[in-house]
Amino acid sequence: GQQLNQSPQSMFIQEGEDVSMNCTSSSIFNTWLWYKQDPGEGPVLLIALYKAGELTSNGRLTAQFGITRKDSFLNISASIPSDVGIYFCALIQGAQKLVFGQGTRLTINP
């Protein structure tokens, strides 16, 4: 099956710091999605990327679809306590099936 590697697995930062995480795939895909999951809740879609090289922002979040179409990164600027959670990247693999990365767990020290 499709290999999707997400890193880092966890991050411990101070409030106000910037955050960067990324995902790489073993094949070329046309869509990258980034989700955030709070404990005990369903994932919430943050950003969707549909075009190689595309750079999209959503408030303090910025995501880019790599030019090779095999990678994507998510940046969070000036982190705040409510940014705590698990961030997942996902690819669409035929027939609208999503393949998820293993997640990046973000912890913020106030």
Partner 1 sequence: DGGITQSPKYLFRKEGQNVTLSCEQNLNHDAMYWYRQDPGQGLRLIYYSQIVNDFQKGDIAEGYSVSREKKESFPLTVTSAQKNPTAFYLCASSAVSYEQYFGPGTRLTVT
In the complex, the residues that contact partner 1 under the rule CB under 8 A are 1, 31, 33, 35, 40-45, 48, 88, 92, 95-98, 100-103
Structure-token pair, residue 77: 């600027």
Least Cβ distance, residue 78 to partner 1 (angstroms): 26
Residue 85 CB, nearest approach to partner 1 (Å): 13
Q: Which is nearer to partner 1, 37 or 77 (CB)?
A: 37
Contact 106, 19 (CB under 8 A): yes
The first and second tokens of residue 33, run together, are 């999605």
CA 49 to chain centre: 11
Please state the φ and ψ torsions of residue 69, each to the nearest 5 degrees: 70, 15
Neighbours of 96 (CB within 10 A): 7
Q: How far is the CB of 29 from partner 1 (least distance, A)?
A: 11
Residue among 12 and 41 whose Cβ is closer to partner 1: 41
